[in-house]
Amino acid sequence: MCGDDPRMIRIALIPGDGVGPEVVREAERVLSACVDAGLARLSTESFPHGADHYLATGETLSERSFERLRDEFDAILLGAVGDPRVPDGRHARDILLGLRMRLDLFINFRPARLRLPELSPLRSADRRPIDFVIFRENTEGLYTGAGRVESAGEPNERAVSEAIATRPGVERIVRAAFEHARSEGLHRVTLGDKANAVPHVYGLWRRVFTEVSQDYPGIEADMQYVDALAMQLVRSPDRFQVIVTSNLLGDILSDLAAEIVGGMGLAPSANLNPGRHALYEPVHGSAPDIAGSGTANPMAAILSAALLLRNAGAAEAADRIDKAVDEALRSGIRTPDVGGESTTAQVGGWIADRVERG
């Protein structure tokens, strides 16, 4: 790489279902432009896992594929998973949640930056520099699948889902949020919880958050109940810098954050275990209803690729992609979800061209 790091970055591509292959194709095109511009050295390999593969073979994610993803690649770029032909979503759970859990990707990192004021549904957004990140705990909480159903199908049926929170699990995500704030020169970290209604789990979160904050005296430790936090995200989103929260609450808050800054088509994410493994994905779903129509927004996948490059040491390439996306939005090179008339391929091609030409 002619930029920050001369090593080869090994990327596994899982295009997945619905619009996933379409947006990953454009992200791969932009990554190739980074190579052509001398900004990165990359190798990519595609994996077939998704609904088509599952329906053809009965296999969700093979053990061999998992081992290769774990041992032979620096990062994974996932398009989307989910297909109505698999009504129980088994393949999607095994691929996405399986990789998160088995690779211990405990950080779900969701940036929310308003790139163009007119894209926000909020009034007076042009006067608000909305730019914050959410650190969502990714391996505990209600998404572990712990629980049971008793007397299934009977009048007194009872379903129990258990939220799991451990001190080590909470501490590492809270500390990661404070470390990010310190490294980026930010001065506030906000905890979102529901300790008033769920005292056991979120009482632990509050205790750990208070304890960890003592190691970061220059950073304000702000604790808010999640309902109040959600209201403040709408009323005063510019007051937030780093938000840290649990798995379920983070899932909801980060989707709200995406809408505040323009929608799911602009929302990238990273699933991280710093120094070990990483999986990057656009936040939007597989959207099978628009697959093949050429209207899917590739920007979230492209920005996820930029996050991948930044975390892999190719900051110059990531910066160029980021600027190219901003320029595309300003120039009206957009898909219909953000008020444009361009196709998926036109947006991806335009951004790739700008990246290559600098």
Place of tokens 């008339």: 341
CA 248 to chain centre: 14
Secondary structure element (H or E) that encloses residue 145, with its range? none
Written as six digits, the tokens of 153 are 């199908």
Give dist(CA 327, CA 309) in Å, integer: 19
Q: Which of 194, 202, 280, 322 is catalytic?
A: 194
Q: Which of 222, 251, 322, 337 is catalytic?
A: 251
Active site residue 255: yes
Secondary structure element (H or E) that encloses residue 34, with its range? helix 20-36
Residues present in the chain in total: 358
Q: Which of 54, 143, 202, 280 is catalytic?
A: 143
Q: Please provide the DSSP assignment of 66-88 as one string.
A: HHHHHHS-SEEEEEE---TTSTT
Active site residue 4: no
Active site residue 88: no
Cross-sheet strand order for the sheet of 268-273: 42-46, 9-16, 75-80, 277-282, 268-273, 107-113, 131-137, 242-245, 188-193, 220-225
Active site residue 5: no
Q: Which of 4, 131, 255, 319 is catalytic?
A: 255
Q: Which of 36, 227, 238, 353 is catalytic?
A: 227
Give dist(CA 322, CA 331) in Å, integer: 14
Q: What is the set of active-site residues?
A: 143, 194, 227, 251, 255
